[in-house]
Amino acid sequence: MAKRKTKYVCQECGYETPKWMGKCPACHQWNTLVEEVVASTTGGRHVFQTDKTSHAKKPTKITSIETEDEPRVATDMPELNRVLGGGIVQGSLVLIGGDPGIGKSTLLLQVSAQLANKKLPVLYISGEESTRQTKLRADRLSIKSDDLYVLSETNLVEVVNQIESINPKFVVIDSIQTIYREEVTSAPGSVSQVRECTSELMRVAKSKGIPIFIVGHVTKEGSIAGPRLLEHMVDAVLYFEGERHHTFRILRGVKNRFGSTNEMGIFEMKEQGLVEVSNPSEIFLEERSQGAAGSTIVASMEGSRPVLVEIQALISPTTFGNPRRMATGLDHNRVPLLMAVLEKRVGLLLQNQDAYVKVAGGVKLDEPAIDLAVAISVASSFRDQPSKPDDVVVGEVGLTGEIRRVARIEQRVQEAAKLGFKRVIIPNKNLDGWTPPSSIEVVGVDTVQDALKVTLGGN
């Protein structure tokens, strides 16, 4: 009897080694190597031979290739259509990840029902729930359609057979970590199983032109579990984010071969399911405290959509030798950088102050245009002097204290005017080349000190 061959595969990056090691030499993670059995192969060495009569595809000049717009299927959720780039592309493979209980299955079940109501056969395959459990969730969401098929199966061969039998127009796999292939000896959810199952589903999607959505589990760090290769194989990667104690959910695209990767869709979790938020700026600002020190409104761009959010700062004297710098919803390295600019260029004594900065509403901002709003919030809290409640601030702050220009200033100002704000402070370099709305005053500033004089007054 032949000796059984084994290998050790890293569950984080897919690195393979013939012996066990405590630390993966590729991704430097500890205790991620898992033993897997190597599938035995019969026969000797395989020799590749050329066949002059073969009908293999030949390279084509790129100038001679005819192109056409990818046909898309629009759902009844404009927020989802925006994130996907205009709708669901036929034959696409989309991966959606998120924390447990965030609403991934609810979102996909609602989308499945909407497509089924358009007389498009939909196959919803759940490897984590029985058909009765899925039906209970469908009853809660008031979903009733004869074109929505539900299957509880984890064997990939049976899944593919049912797809070929029903020939649906849309398929949901919930989740990819529960699907297994019998030829692979490792457990479901391992690197080998996830890679092989995703590869087979991609072949089915491309060959039959069926869009397939697969749900992926996430690690404790928030990234999708399994090898990074999983995100490279699919056409689009969506993250469903949100705080467990908040009702708002954010659908963000981090990869999209058929559209922009900066789009964001906002939903609200209610008793009847996920409901779209058409105007997120009003939602983020509805609980704002009027006249509170340390609060500033910023116009941020999320893809092609301007969103107004509130940035809050709390500055208090420290009781320790090293003051604390904490940030929620933005890069934590940006807070001490901006505080250093305020201390050096403006003269605020912040070296003995604890700083806590937060983006209200649970949204995450990562663009440099929020720098000026963070700086004004910190200065407002330090001086205990509130800024004007009708002001909106936009601008990037340089290390020398200058305010640098930002992109899409016209859309930001129009959003502020639409919500009733009276004044917007922007970089002086952004004043030329466009006409602001008549209902809002636009003030250009060159330095942080000029911005503080305009918003807070004084020196």
Q: What backbone torsions phi and psi does residue 334 show, to the nearest 5 degrees?
A: -75, -30
Q: What angle do CA 175, 177, 179 make, to 5 degrees?
A: 80
164 burial via Cβ count (<10 Å: 0-12, 13-18, 19+): exposed
Q: Which residues pair with 37 in a beta bridge?
A: 6
Q: Is 429 labelled as part of a ligand binding site? A: no
Say whether 104 counts as a known binding-site residue. Answer: yes
Q: How many residues would you count in the chain?
A: 459
Contact 396, 371 (CB under 8 A): yes
Please indicate if the annotation marks 43 as binding a ligand: no
The answer on whether 398 is annotated among ligand-binding residues is no
Q: How many Å apart are CA 216 and CA 234, to the nearest integer?
A: 12
Q: What is the 8-class DSSP label of residue 457?
A: -
Residue 100 annotated as part of some ligand binding site: yes
C-alpha 224/C-alpha 79 separation (Å) is 22
Residue 99 annotated as binding site:
yes
Closest by CA position to 149, among listed 140, 157, 141, 165: 165
Sign of the CA dihedral with 83 first, then 85, 87, and 90 last: negative
Torsion of CA 84, 257, 411, 264, to 10 degrees: 40
Task: List CB contacts of 210: < 8 A, sequence separation 6 or more.
Answer: 90, 91, 163, 168, 169, 170, 171, 204
**Which residues, other chains included, contact 432 with Cβ-Cβ below 8 Å and sequence gap of 6+?**
none
List own/partner pairs for 285-291 with CB under 8 A and 24 or more apart. 285/309, 285/310, 285/419, 287/360, 288/360, 288/389, 290/389, 291/386, 291/389
Annotated ligand binding at 427? The verdict is: no
Beta pairing partners, 255: 237
- Helix, strand, or coil (residue 313): strand
C-alpha atoms less than 13 angstroms from C-alpha of 162 in its C-beta half-sphere: 21
Residue 439, annotated ligand binder? no
Residue 458, φ and ψ in degrees, nearest 5: 75, -160
Residue keyed to tokens 């993250």: 239
How many helices and strands (H and E) does the chain possess?
11, 23
Dihedral angle sign, alpha carbons of residues 284, 287, 293, 294: negative
| Annotated binding residues | 98-105
| Annotated binding residues for ATP | 98-105
